[in-house]
């Protein structure tokens, strides 16, 4: 097994490094610090904007977005994409703007949008000038999303939208929402849904923040009452929003599956075990803790090699199939188990939240622990992912409850 890159790719890596040395200085790197696991969208600074513009010009960011809409329009090359991520991360350089606008809406518009929609939305989204939220989930429609009931009725040149969305991340900051709305109440459940773009400043929209376990308010409920949405603000045809939304979810899953943050958590966990005393000695010397650490590291190494396997398959343009389906569960469950061990090592101190005096590592692990529940649910829950692996990956019979 040869896991090294060919000379062509090593040359590409040198080129990317030279670019970063020239355009993202030591001072920039120091100021940028470590990227958070789940970065929230925000307007970019002038310095970040100038750097991203150079990176697009060089062909390193927004590779699948046409140049006409602010992308760098590069042919797909899994190895080059990975090298770019590795080198940008090492240099703490800005990558693509985080959030659902770039990760989910932009690929959807590239695939399904009209020329006018592409023109209006893609470029300001990739520069971070337009922030988006995803209005899919509703009370009673999460895993079984096609049960959604927010309805849109055509009235002249406008849709009149009424209903409620829930768990809508960063709706308070968003300028626009891409939403699923039922427009054909008599059609079978998957065929009556339309993919709609709704401006958040439209009268009739109320955003109510939801308080989370960790004290934050990244989620909201969004109420829509007689919201008037221009008739042409839909992506794909009327009633055909389900396949459009599926292509977005495909991108969301790819976005969640990486292992770099898991490796960082593991390294932090080892440090925690070195510096925390358990029964009079560093926790890392405790046999039970060591055994659990070794088991977790074995899973981590397996996940990292699995990533290389997927990369090789993508590089050879092979369908990743079952191998691709297992990534999200493997990494999100591993992340959960890592921080679970951190909490055991911390003992009573695990009850101290972020910012509290004496909270080990400033409460970082406690916060990370709470976030792992988000990872296990967002982008399709672990149970649902297992169903998908069983049914689509292993060809087992369909879950009777979800038969259509
Ligand atoms: C961090 C985060 C961010 C999110 N951001 C957004 C957002 O921006 N926009 C948005 O629209 N939504 C968002 N969501 C919502 C998310 O998509 C839903 O929480 C998710 O789809 C699950 O739906 P639910 O919460 O209604 O749970 P339910 O679907 O009610 O599930 C409850 C439990 O039942 C299990 N279950 C359900 N059906 C089955 C089945 N058939 N077989 C086995 N088990 C089953 C589930 O696994 C789960 O454990 C976000 C969620 C999180 C955690």
Are residues 141 and 26 part of one domain? no
Examine the domain organization and report whether 291 and 351 are in the same domain: yes
| 287 & 392 share domain | yes
Take atom 20 of ligand 1 and give the residue whose Cα is closest: 142
Q: In the predicted model, is pLDDT for residue 317 greater than 50?
A: yes
Burial 350-389 (b: 16+ CB within 10 A, else e): bebebeeeebbbebbbbbbbbbbebbbbbbbeeebbebbb
Same domain for 38 and 139? no
pLDDT > 90? residue 313: no
* Same domain for 214 and 261: no
- Give residue-wise pLDDT tens across range 339-388: 999 999 999 888 887 778 888 888 889 888 988 998 899 878 999 999 99
Q: Can you give the CATH number for the domain in which 156 is found?
A: 2.40.110.10
Cα 117–Cα 122–Cα 123 angle in degrees, nearest 5: 125
Structural domain ending residue among the three candidates 177, 207, 239: 239
Task: Judge if 51 and 142 occupy the same domain.
Answer: no
Contact 179, 167 (CB under 8 A): no
The finding on whether 143 has its CB within 6 A of some atom of ligand 1 is yes
Instruction: Identify whether 349 is part of a domain.
Output: yes
Is 300 part of any domain? Answer: yes
Establish if 121 belongs to a structural domain. Answer: no
pTM for the full model? 0.90
Number of domains in the chain: 3
pLDDT digits (tens, 9 = 90+) for 76-105: 888 898 899 889 999 999 999 988 899 889
Ligand 1 atom closest to residue 374's alpha carbon, by position in its atom list = 53
Ligand 1 site-directed mutation target among 142, 178, 380, most atoms within 8 Å of CB: 142
Q: List, for residues 239-256, the tens digit of each pLDDT value.
A: 999 999 887 655 544 444
pLDDT in tens, 33-82: 766 655 666 778 899 999 999 999 999 999 989 999 999 999 888 889 88
Does residue 219 sit in the same domain as residue 271? no
Are 296 and 266 in contact, with CB atoms under 8 Å apart?
A: yes
Span from the CA of 237 to the centroid of ligand 1 (angstroms): 26
Residues 219 and 305 reside in one and the same domain:
no
Asked if 268 and 172 sit in the same domain, the reply is no
Q: Is 374 in the pocket of ligand 1 (CB under 6 A)?
A: yes
- Nearest residue (by CA) to ligand 1, atom 51, is 378
- How far, in Å, from the CA of 218 to the mean position of ligand 1? 16
Instruction: Average the pLDDT over 211-238 and give the result.
Output: 93
Catalytic residues: 252
Ligand 1: distance of its center to the CA of 360 in Å? 31
Distance CA 168, CA 223 (A): 11
Q: Which atom of ligand 1 is nearest to the CA of 144?
A: 29
33 within domain boundaries: yes
Q: For residue 25, give both structure tokens.
A: 């200085």
Which pLDDT band, with edges at 50, 70 and 90, does 258 fall under? low
Residue 115 resides in a domain:
no
**Does the C-beta of 134 come closer than 6 Å to ligand 1?**
yes
Structural domain for 61, as ranges? 7-98
Q: Is there a domain that residue 43 lies in?
A: yes
Is 172 a domain residue? Answer: yes
Instruction: Please check whether residues 270 and 379 belong to one and the same domain.
Output: yes
> What CATH code is carried by the domain that includes residue 67?
1.10.540
Q: 141 with 234, same domain? A: yes
Pocket of ligand 1 contains residue 387 by CB under 6 Å: yes
- 111 domain residue, yes or no: no
Q: Is 314 near ligand 1, meaning CB less than 6 Å away?
A: no
Q: Are residues 230 and 281 in the same domain?
A: no
Task: Tell me the chain's radius of gyration from C-alpha atoms.
Answer: 23
Q: Write down which residue in 98, 119, 142 finishes a domain.
A: 98
The predicted model gives 132-159 an average pLDDT of 96
SS3 labels along the chain: CCCCCCHHHHHHHHHHHHHHHHHCCHHHHHHHCCCCCCCCCCCCCHHHHHHHHHHHHCCCCCCCCCHHHCCCCCCCCHHHHHHHHHHHHHCCCCCCCCCHHHHHHHHHHHHHCCHHHHHHHHHHHHCCCCCEEEECCECCECCCHHHCCCEEEEECCEEEEEEEEECCCCCCCCCEEEEEEECCCCCCCCCCEEEEEEECCCCCEEEEEECCCCCCCCEEEEEEEEEEEECCCEECCCCEHHHHHHHHHHHHHHHHCCCHHHHHHHHHHHHHHHHCEECCEEHHHCHHHHHHHHHHHHHHHHHHHHHHHHHHHHHCCCCCHHHHHCHHHHHHHHHHHHHHHHHHHHHHHHHCCCCCCCCHHHHHHHHHHHHHHHHHHCCCCHHHHHHHHHHHHCCCCCCHHHCC
């Amino acid at each position: 097994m040869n896991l090294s890159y060919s000379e062509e790719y090593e040359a590409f890596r040198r080129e990317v490094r030279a670019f970063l040395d020239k355009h993202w200085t030591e001072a920039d790197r120091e100021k940028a610090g470590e990227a958070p696991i789940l970065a929230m969208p925000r307007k970019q600074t002038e310095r970040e904007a100038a750097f991203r513009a150079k990176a697009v010009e060089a062909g390193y960011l927004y590779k699948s977005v046409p140049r006409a809409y602010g992308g760098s329009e590069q042919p797909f090359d899994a190895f080059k994409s990975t090298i770019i991520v590795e080198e940008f991360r090492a240099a703490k350089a800005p990558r693509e703007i985080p959030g659902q606008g770039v990760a989910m809406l932009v690929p959807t518009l590239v695939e399904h949008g009209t020329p006018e929609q592409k023109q209006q939305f893609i470029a300001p989204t990739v520069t971070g000038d337009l922030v988006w939220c995803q209005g899919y989930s509703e009370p009673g429609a999460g895993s079984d999303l096609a049960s959604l009931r927010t309805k849109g009725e055509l009235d002249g040149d406008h849709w009149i939208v009424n209903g409620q969305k829930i768990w809508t991340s960063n709706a308070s900051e968003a300028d626009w929402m891409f939403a699923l709305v039922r427009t054909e109440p008599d059609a079978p459940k998957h065929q009556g849904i339309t993919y709609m773009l709704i401006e958040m400043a439209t009268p009739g929209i109320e955003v109510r923040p939801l308080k989370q376990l960790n004290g934050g308010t990244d989620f909201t409920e969004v109420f829509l009452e007689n919201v008037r949405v221009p008739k042409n603000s839909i992506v794909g045809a009327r009633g055909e929003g389900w396949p459009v939304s599926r292509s977005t979810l495909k991108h969301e899953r790819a976005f969640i599956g990486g292992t770099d943050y898991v490796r960082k958590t593991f390294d932090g966990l080892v440090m925690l075990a070195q510096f925390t005393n358990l029964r009079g000695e560093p926790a890392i010397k405790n046999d039970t803790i060591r055994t659990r650490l070794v088991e977790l590291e074995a899973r981590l190494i397996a996940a990292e090699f699995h990533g290389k396997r997927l990369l090789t398959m993508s590089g050879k343009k092979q369908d990743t199939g079952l191998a691709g389906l297992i990534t999200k569960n493997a990494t999100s469950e591993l992340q959960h188990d890592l921080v679970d061990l951190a909490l055991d090592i911390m003992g009573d101190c695990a009850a101290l939240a972020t910012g509290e005096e004496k909270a080990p590592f400033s409460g970082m692990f406690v916060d990370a622990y709470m976030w792992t529940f988000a990872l296990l649910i967002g982008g399709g829950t672990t149970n649902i992912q297992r169903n998908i692996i069983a049914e689509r990956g292993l060809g087992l019979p369909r879950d009777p409850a979800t038969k259509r």
